[in-house]
Amino acid sequence: MNNKKIVVVGGVGGGASAAARARRLDESAKIKMFEKGPDVSFSNCSLPYHLSGLIPDADSIILKTPKQFKDQYRIDAEVNSEVIDVDSEQKLVTVQDTQTGEKRQVPYDQLILSPGAKPILPKSIQGISNTNVFSVRNVVDIKKIQKYLEENHVKDVAVIGGGFIGLEVCENLVQSGRNVAVVEAASHVLSTIDDDFAQLVHKNLYDHGVQVVLNDPLVKISDDQIQLASGKKIPSQAVIMAIGVSPDTKLAQKIGCKLGITGSIAVDQHYETSIPDIYAVGDAIEVTNKLTRKKTRLALAFPAQMEARDAVDHIYGRSVRNRGVIGSQVIHLFDLNVASTGLTEDACDKNEIEHRSVTVIPQNRVSVMPETSPIFLKLIFGYPSGEILGAQAIGKSDVDKQIDIIATLISMHGHVEDLTHLELCYSPWFSTAKNAVNIVGLVADNILNDEYRQISITKVRDLVENGAFIIDAREPSEYAAGHITTSTNIPLSQFRDRLDEIPTDRPVYVHCQSSQRSYNMVRALGNLGYKNITNISGSYAELREYEYFKDKTTDRQPIITDDL
């Protein structure tokens, strides 16, 4: 083990974590890290915040310099140095200086590849190579974008792609005073959440002046506008491409590493490639989804860092437990936080996993406290097993708290009943006595046990258009402020005296502001002998926002009377 030679290709989350872990385990190792760019360690996820000035100095995004690696860890971190070839028989890497072109060979005992992923820039898009087209991968990129925006006095920017990077770039560009259009080829932004929750994000973007275009891919880029497949033209003097990333497998393929079914580098349970003593970690590798048991890709910081740790542990003979990934993530977007973990309903459908879902909208803390706000929380679980498969949360509060709790249970193969009696911290300042995760667990447990029926708010428009009988269980003052156009107002406080107004010969659907009052009415009517009563899950608060964006961007007939 003495004087082991470890070479790491690529820095940032995966590579830098691997090098640091190796030093913690072995003070005598000779560790070299090669990064083809000028910065070996920086916070990728912080890059967009330079565009708004929240991070005034782009260089502050750099976390460690080569000198700091040398002084603090005795790690030789060399920038502007690209590993272009590997002789796995002789255990030599060929390193080329990207500025001078000079080449040299460096020996290794173990080699760790962390090349990351590169932005997708389709050549089929006319003008994709124009000087006003940018992607966001590193500090150099973000400096280049900011310089171009300022020097050319850019006012209109098109962001192509509604994923995490695209939306974070969008938010910061809006906060810098620019007009922003987000163009998404799919039916909604953020593939990590379902369509019903995505509509809340669409409304949030719309409310902050963002032009959101869906189901319409980019086909042409000019100096002052973009053109979409529909023929629609949008003014933009700069274009940020954020439609996704692809694993950087150029070196791995050249040296003969096997690729997996996703096109990423295939690794075993120890993150070793098909070539002995060559490991791979981070965005370029293929991982296993803990829930579907299928191979996938996951470009997130935490998994990359833990893969790096595990790979080095295996090098040093430590046991490794590669249990797969679930994909937990959160984004701050203007005045909303959006978090998710595990599978969406769409992913369950694609993987043919029988499931159910529930949505609750409790307050983030006791209602008498100041600045209380709702949490939109959705839980997805297997049917009939009740195993927790995923969750999504949106709100102005720290919704990552609820998602982190559920992510923990997913990692432990938890079930909905595990949420119902989960004892969590409580104070009126921080939560309601029953936390949102307790509430969603209780509702899911009811659905699992077939105690009552429910439908999603995504079905309400069909109900309205087909003349279904819908009860609004809110108070008259709430109903007067806005309601479903065809609904009948029978408040929870009055319904027992108005049973003659509730039909028994056809289905009845009940909703309220947050599903709580409607749930109580549904249960009571069931106890009174009604056989065909259904609760509308999510209810008016979510429905109003779900319909809002679509009503504003299409010519369809609104089914809600109020205008947010």
Contact 322, 311 (CB under 8 A): no
Residue-wise pLDDT tens digits, 317-347: 999 988 999 999 999 999 999 999 999 999 9
Predicted TM-score (pTM) of the model is: 0.92
Distance of CA 241 to the CA centre of its chain: 18
Burial zone of 398 (CB within 10 Å; 0-12 exposed, 13-18 middle, 19+ buried): middle
Residue-wise pLDDT tens digits, 28-61: 999 999 999 998 888 888 999 999 999 999 999 9
Q: Helix 301-315 crosses helix 12-25 at what angle (to 10 degrees)? A: 30
| Pairing assessment for the beta strands 110-113 and 278-280 based on DSSP bridges | parallel
CA distance 53 to 47: 11
| Pairing assessment for the beta strands 133-135 and 30-34 based on DSSP bridges | unpaired
Q: What is the pLDDT of residue 469?
A: 97
Residue-wise pLDDT tens digits, 409-457: 999 999 999 999 999 999 999 999 999 999 999 999 999 999 989 998 8
Q: What is the pLDDT of residue 563?
A: 59
Q: What is the pLDDT of residue 13?
A: 83
Contact 241, 209 (CB under 8 A): no
How is residue 169 written in tokens? Answer: 């770039």
Query: Does 395 have pLDDT greater than 90?
Result: yes
> 3-class DSSP state for residue 275?
coil
The identity of residue 15, as a single letter, is G
Helix (H) or strand (E) holding 183: strand 179-184
Q: What is the pLDDT of residue 550?
A: 76
Q: What is the pLDDT of residue 514?
A: 86
Residue-wise pLDDT tens digits, 234-259: 999 999 999 999 999 999 999 999 99
- Place 564 in a pLDDT band, splitting at 50, 70 and 90: low
- Helix, strand, coil tally for the chain in percent (to 5): 30, 25, 40
Q: What is the pLDDT of residue 411?
A: 95
Q: What is the pLDDT of residue 541?
A: 82
Residue-wise pLDDT tens digits, 72-112: 999 999 999 999 999 999 999 999 999 999 999 999 999 99
- What do you get for the CA distance between the two ends of the chain, in Å? 66
Closest by CA to 225, choosing from 321, 130, 305, is: 130
Percent of the chain at pLDDT > 70 equals: 99
Contact 220, 132 (CB under 8 A): no
CA distance 226 to 126: 10
The residues pairing with 376 across neighbouring beta strands, listed in sequence order, are 394
Residue-wise pLDDT tens digits, 151-210: 999 999 999 999 999 999 999 999 999 999 999 999 999 999 999 999 999 999 999 999
Q: Average pLDDT of the chain? A: 94
562 vs 11, residue with greater confidence: 11
Residue-wise pLDDT tens digits, 459-491: 999 999 999 999 999 999 999 999 999 999 999
